[in-house]
Amino acid sequence: MGTPLESREAQAEEVVDRLEEAYPDSTISLRYSNRLELLIAVILSAQCTDERVNKETKHLFEKYDGAEDYADAPEDELAEDLNSITYYNSKAGYIKSSCRTILEEHDGKVPDTMDELTELSGVGRKTANVVLQHGHDVVEGIVVDTHVQRLSRRLGLTEEQRPEAIEQDLMGIVPEGYWQQFTHLCIDHGRATCTARNPDCSDCVLADICPSEKGDSEIDLASGEPW
C-alpha cells in the first residue's frame, strides 16, 4: 500500500463525514419483514438490482411462509417464482438448500454467526455480513459490494481488487462505529454520482479530496483504466 495508514484513516473519516451529510437517511434498500426474508432477499440480490429483487419478493414472501415452505417446494416451481431474477435457477437451489440446513441444523432459525451463515448454500461473507448487521445487529465487518469496491479504490482507501482484501483494508481505517453505514453511504453515492461508467465529478461532494477526480485526462487514477 503506497499511501500511509494515517492519511488513509483521515481520508476515510472525511469521506464518511461528507457522505453522511449528503445522505442522512442512507440505509438498506431491500425489503423484508424477518430474518429469513432478509437472507433470501440478500441471496437474490447478487448480480441483481435491489429494485428488481423487491419487486419479485413482494409476491414470493406472500406465497412462501417460513423455511419449511422453501425447503419443501419443488425446485423448478421455486425457480419459476423467481424468474425475473438473475441466475434464478441457481438461486432457487441455494434458497431451498439453505432452508433445509436451517431446519435441520438450526432449529428453523437463521444463524447468527459468520461461520454458520457462510456454511449455508449461496452465502458468502458479503451476504453473511448483511444478515448479521441488519438481522442480528451484529457488526463483524464491512459489506463490500460493487459500489464499495469501486468507490474505495477511486477514493484511494485501498489498492486491493478482491472484496475480501478490500474489506480488510477498510476495517483498518473506517471507524468501527461506521462499518455498517459506510456501505450504505457508498451505495447511495455510487448510484447518485460516482457511477461506474460516468461519474459526475463536477457535482461530487468528495471532488477536492478524491485522487480520481476526473480532470482533463479522463483516466481513472484508482484503477489506471479509462473511465
Binding site members for [4Fe-4S] cluster? 194, 201, 204, 210
Cα(218)–Cα(220) distance, integer angstroms: 7
Which of 50, 81, 112, 145 is catalytic? The answer is 145
Which residue intervals of the chain are DSSP H helices? Answer: 5-22, 35-45, 50-63, 67-72, 75-80, 88-105, 114-118, 125-136, 146-154, 163-173, 179-192
Give, to the nearest 10 degrees, the angle between helix 5-22 and helix 179-192.
70
Tell which one of 153, 154, 156, 157 touches ligand SF4 (CB under 6 A).
154
Task: Cell numbers for 125, please give them.
Answer: 461473507
Closest CA relative to residue 141, chosen from 169, 119, 122, 101: 169
Q: Which is nearer to ligand SF4, 37 or 160 (CB)?
A: 160
Cα(79)–Cα(128) distance, integer angstroms: 22
Q: Does 153 bind ligand SF4 (CB under 6 A)?
A: no
We find the least distance from the C-beta atom of residue 160 to ligand SF4, in angstroms, to be: 17
Which of 126, 169, 188, 214 is catalytic? The answer is 126
We find the least distance from the C-beta atom of residue 225 to ligand SF4, in angstroms, to be: 12
- Indicate if 126 belongs to the active site: yes
We find the least distance from the C-beta atom of residue 122 to ligand SF4, in angstroms, to be: 31
For the chain, the C-alpha Rg in angstroms (whole number) is 19
- Indicate if 214 belongs to the active site: no
Residue 51 near residue 86, CB atoms below 8 Å: no
We find the least distance from the C-beta atom of residue 119 to ligand SF4, in angstroms, to be: 36
Q: Which is nearer to ligand SF4, 129 or 212 (CB)?
A: 212
Q: Which residues bind ligand SF4 (CB under 6 A)?
A: 154-155, 193-194, 199-201, 204, 206-207, 210, 212-214
**Catalytic residue ranges:** 126, 145
